[in-house]
Amino acid sequence: MSMLINDTSFIKLPLYKQGKVRNVYEAGDNLLIVVTDRISAFDVVFPNLIPNKGKVLNSISAFWFDYTKDMIGNHMITTKVDEYPQEVTAYKEELQGRSMLVRKAEMIPAECIVRGYLEGSGLKEYQKTGSICGIKLPAGLKQCEKLPEPIFTPTTKAEEGHDESITFEELANRIGRDLATRLRDISINLYLKAAKYAESRGIILADTKLEFGFIDGKLAVCDEMFTPDSSRFWDKEDYEPGRPQKSFDKQYLREYLEKIGWNKQPPAPQLPEDVIRNTEAKYIEAYERITGEKLWAAEIMPLFYELWHLAKTSSIPLRERNAPV
């Protein structure tokens, strides 16, 4: 059974920031991100933990950081615990698969949302105004319908409470037109690249949220990337506009909370066991579909490489090591 992680106070490094899901620590010139098994919805953290969630989020982000590195740099240094600061390497069991050593970045105070399909808050705004974040859309679009082209719908980045949708012009006024244009263009291009790959794996990437910062003066993608927390993943074979979709993301939890009539204010309700297990299953399926690997393989591969390295450097001939006793 996977170890559940919520409290990470065992890490003897200065706490840099605690988010809804991630705890971030100072690690010299770098940062150590630890992804817990906490889950939030509507900006409220729930009392229940979702098994394997932290490992899924961390491993999917690592996959996408590598997959898109030809387009833009990112903050990832390594996910190998043996390469972390000495103070935390003793906690390999707790950190393996759910942590990442990253470069510090000067973060841009905006969330870059790209929508390729009509769902969620975008759908609600469209139904009221016929537009999303000031972008006029064709009349008569159905729920979950594919948009004529992906649109960039940024939000503010709130440390507490809700992020607020803003227009591109409002973003340009906040951070400058040149930077806003760069963020819009790279966000849409990253979405298109990821969506094309996801489709080859039987998944529709409906929308996503990206965050950027500057590392040594260069724009880089940071935080997380195309995860079930930050994106909507739909089953391509089951896709049909005009209704909710079979998903591999947090939408299942959101729909459950809408169904029970929760007012979206703290405290969050306790989640029943079947909702916890179904959420876990959806996150794991997202990981396995996207990467083509089983989640357990991601956990044991670092150990395999470690043993392989020991075998290479050992003075005992391989034939003798494998000989029966």
pLDDT at residue 223 is higher than 90: yes
Cis peptide before 244 (omega within 30 of 0): no
- 287: confidence class by pLDDT, cuts 50, 70, 90: very high
**DSSP code string of 254-305:** HHHHHHHT--S-SSPPPPPHHHHHHHHHHHHHHHHHHHSS-HHHHHHHHHHH
- Which pLDDT score, from 0 to 100, does residue 279 have? 97
State both tokens at 225.
């990337």
Instruction: Looking at the chain, list the stretches that DSSP marks H as alpha helix, in order from N- to C-terminal side.
Output: 53-67, 92-95, 120-129, 168-175, 177-200, 251-260, 273-291, 295-313, 318-322
The CATH superfamily holding the domain 107-260 is ATP-grasp fold, B domain (3.30.470.20)
- 296: confidence class by pLDDT, cuts 50, 70, 90: confident
- Which pLDDT score, from 0 to 100, does residue 163 have? 81
Quick: pLDDT tens for 139-186.
999 999 999 999 999 999 876 667 899 999 999 999 999 999 999 999
- 299: confidence class by pLDDT, cuts 50, 70, 90: low
Q: Where are the domains of the chain?
A: 107-260
- Which pLDDT score, from 0 to 100, does residue 275 have? 97
Q: How far is CA 273 from the centre of its chain?
A: 24
Residue 83's nearest CA partner among 92, 72, 74, 75 is: 92
Quick: pLDDT tens for 91-137.
999 999 999 999 999 999 999 999 999 999 999 999 999 999 999 99
- 317: confidence class by pLDDT, cuts 50, 70, 90: very low
- 60: confidence class by pLDDT, cuts 50, 70, 90: very high
pLDDT at residue 82 is higher than 90: yes
What is the Cα–Cα distance from 106 to 215, expressed in whole angstroms? 7
CA distances from 308 to 297, 298, 302 (A): 15, 16, 10
- Which pLDDT score, from 0 to 100, does residue 157 have? 85
E strand or H helix that includes residue 239: none
Give the rounded percent of residues in the chain with a pLDDT score beyond 90.
Answer: 86
Compare 321 and 82 and report the one with higher pLDDT. Answer: 82
Q: Give 204's Cβ-side CA count (13 Å radius).
A: 21
Radius of gyration, alpha carbons of the chain: 21
Per-residue pLDDT, averaged over 78-100, amounts to 94
What is the Cα–Cα distance from 184 to 163, expressed in whole angstroms? 18
What is the Cα–Cα distance from 86 to 89, expressed in whole angstroms? 5
Instruction: Looking at 27-143, list the stretches that DSSP marks H as alpha helix, in order from N- to C-terminal side.
Output: 53-67, 92-95, 120-129
CB contact at 8 A, 192 and 209: no
For the chain, first and last CA: distance in Å? 32
CB contact at 8 A, 208 and 228: no
- Which pLDDT score, from 0 to 100, does residue 305 have? 47
pLDDT at residue 66 is higher than 50: yes
273-291 and 251-260 helices, crossing angle to 10°: 160
- Which pLDDT score, from 0 to 100, does residue 238 have? 97
CB contact at 8 A, 51 and 65: no
Quick: pLDDT tens for 2-31.
789 999 999 999 999 999 999 999 999 999
Compare 204 and 157 and report the one with higher pLDDT. Answer: 204
Can you tell me whether residue 24 is helix, strand or coil?
strand
